[in-house]
Chain A
Amino acid sequence: MTIAALVHVVVSGLATGSIYALVALSLVIVYNATRTLNFAQGEMLMVSTFAGFTVYAHVKLPLVVVMLIAVAAAALLGWVIERVIIRHAIGATHFDVLIITLGLSLVLRSAAGLAWTHDEFPFPSFFGTRPIVLGPVRVAPVSLGIIGASLALMLGLWALFTRTRLGRAMRAVAQNQRAARLVGISVERVYAASWILASVVGAIAGVLIAPVVFLSSQMGLVAINGFIAAVLGGFGSMPGAVVGGMLLGVIENLAPLYLPSSIKHSVPFLALIAILLIRPGGMLGRVARRKV
């Protein structure tokens, strides 16, 4: 294997990893605020991307506008789901809510099939696939673009959580809901904001990855790897989600270079088991030790 090929495979893995990281982040945002695992995250991402695509297919608007439409659709979807379904289950156990989101994912996938068929569609891309040659190394603009855009979004999220009143409120709720309420934070508003924010981050991931894996009702399955990424990094930790996603993307690509390629799909799970054996809380997670 030449160095050039190795670089390409790693960069390609980082691009896929960025998407895992974004999905992981959106899972963590909802989890931190509401202690709920959102199994419908992948399908929400898929439906938002389809919403953007529908507009694109009818009136060929610039891609930036398409992305904004997807983001708006995602915000609406996140808000509606939180307001109409999740909030009514506020007193239910986490396990009940988890099953609700699981059901929601199936409903959204079938609904997408009815609305847009289960076909695969080519999705326009911000970036080209023709390689840029840098000395002996070739890299695809699409990979660099995905990595760049994801990093920019992560930076934006970091700023939101550290620099704004809303972000601080969200962190406060994550740490201690009762204390947050006592200092006058509206927990309900934080819930809604978390769902909307997570949905929007997912939609951007969807628009970035759709040109690569093609848009289809199956696209939401990317959330499984997002979930693994979040656990790898330590569920609940946002930097952990980013590191976990990137690591997963790279491992997933490097493993088949040296092992039979059919093993590729078990690698994420093997990595997960290995890391949890060494660090039960994930790479950047806190270990909650239980006394026995």
Chain B
Amino acid sequence: MRVLLALVIAGLTTGATPLPARAQQGVTDAEILLGGSNSFSGPLAFTGEQATRFGVDLYFKAVNDGGGIHGRKVRTVYYDDGYKPQEAVANTRKLLEQDGVFAIIAPQGTPPVVATLEYLEENRVPLLFPFQGSPITRGRKWVFSGMTLYDRQSRMMIDYLVGARKFGKFATLYQDDEYGKSFLTALEKDLGRHGLKLVATESVKRGVTDVSAQMAKLQAARPDVLFLVLTPGPGAQALRERQKIGWSEVVMVSSGPLTDERYLALAGDASEGVEGLSLWPDPLTSDRPGVKRYRDDLKTYLPKNEPNRYSLSGYFAAMLFTEGATRAGRRLTREGLVVALEGIRGFESGILPPVTIGPDHETQRQGFWVRVERGRFKQLTDWLRAE
């Protein structure tokens, strides 16, 4: 209705001049509408809730209060898929066909995101910064990846652990789905480059009650390093199990998506000494200007919410969208947004190192090494990069 009204008004005021090209769905004179399917129930509900309502929306609140993007306010709409691919597809159709969103922002989880890829590409809708890392999103015209992709994460982890730390025997406990498997493939490939192999791999299903058998088998293979490619619940269970069997001589390393305070809180004192690749600076203590601004905005708009990496990631996604949409200019189209995002070079977010996007559409390529000391992640290296 509003689009129609805008068109009529445009037609009236421009008088004799022909109507402009068909208006862009999801963009009116006053508003840009974005949406996403995400987990608001199921195993990644906390992550989803934080990334969207407490991350993406937090940044847009600040943007809207500052006058919006070229005078347009940003509004968001989300639906719950509970980490289920079929629900994600239904939600995404609804967002496009009923709500009429301009673009999809920050959906979560490899299986749900992958399920919507084809549909979004067919309809030429930008899929922006999904919170997932399967390399399947790389090199697609309408997709801009979010977190550092798993193959890059894997390369950074293996090169650091084999190179700087001189470890030689690796094993993996992974989640039996797209997320776990694409990480596993990448780890095997990168170990291969160093002439190494995984000495043991075990899988867990979501909703697992006991991981003692898997851990016993992994321990029997005597690895130096055990990678955990899991979600917070099973990840914390594996750490507890390690404590139960008194397996102290192994270095536990958590994957990028897992490396968050949330999973430490579940594991309690069993998390001490755990290492991992962190994709985000410490949201509570980092003095980078963007992270400070994030904390200030949280205090202003959502004072009850504790800072965490998930909401920081959503905040960053919204910041990157704002940068792209600002560059695209007042006449915002999907095509124009893609071109504008591709043109970003050395963008200072104040959260991550300068962002250069370019034709591969990867927005993040780095991480740094952390170890848990007295219940918090302590930074061990500077930013590691995998080019």
Q: Which residues of A contact B (CB under 8 A)?
A: 1-2, 5-6, 8-9, 12-13, 15-16, 19, 113, 117-122, 129-131, 133, 138, 140, 142-143, 209, 212-214, 216-218, 221-222, 225, 249, 252-257, 261-262, 264-265
Contacts and interface: CB of A to CB of B under 8 A. Distances in A.
B217 interface: yes
B30 interface: no
Given A2-B220, A131-B245, A254-B213, 16 more contacts: A5-B216, A12-B212, A13-B212, A119-B49, A120-B46, A129-B243, A130-B243, A213-B233, A214-B236, A217-B41, A222-B209, A252-B210, A253-B212, A261-B202, A264-B208, A265-B205
B43 interface: yes
Contacts of B90: none
A138 B232 contact: no
B302 to A, nearest CB: 15
Interface of B is mostly: helix
B210 A253 contact: yes
Interface residues of B, number: 36
7 contacts: A12-B210, A15-B210, A143-B244, A253-B210, A253-B212, A261-B203, A261-B204
A122 B244 contact: no
Contacts of B43: 120, 218
B219 interface: yes
A254 B213 CA distance: 7
Contacts of B49: 117, 119
Nearest to B219: A5
Interface string B233-247: 100110010011110
A213 B209 contact: yes
A256 B268 contact: no
Given A129-B244, A222-B209, A261-B203, A117 B45 contact: yes
B269 to A, nearest CB: 9
B40 interface: yes
B115 interface: no
Interface of B: 40-43, 45-46, 49, 176, 202-205, 207-210, 212-214, 216-217, 219-220, 232-233, 236-237, 240, 243-246, 265-266, 268, 270
A122 B265 contact: yes
Nearest to A17: B210
Contacts of A254: 213
Nearest to A11: B212
A16 B210 contact: yes
Contacts of A19: 209
Contact of B207 (A130, A143, A221): A221
A212 B270 CA distance: 13
A163 B220 CA distance: 49
B237 A213 contact: yes
B5 to A, nearest CB: 37
Contact of B268 (A122, A142, A212, A218): A122
A66 B270 CA distance: 24
Given A16-B210, A252-B210, A262 B203 contact: yes
Contact of A264 (B213, B216, B245, B270): B213
A119 B217 contact: no
A119 B270 contact: no
A247 to B, nearest CB: 15
A185 to B, nearest CB: 39
Contacts of A6: 216
Contacts of B45: 113, 117-119
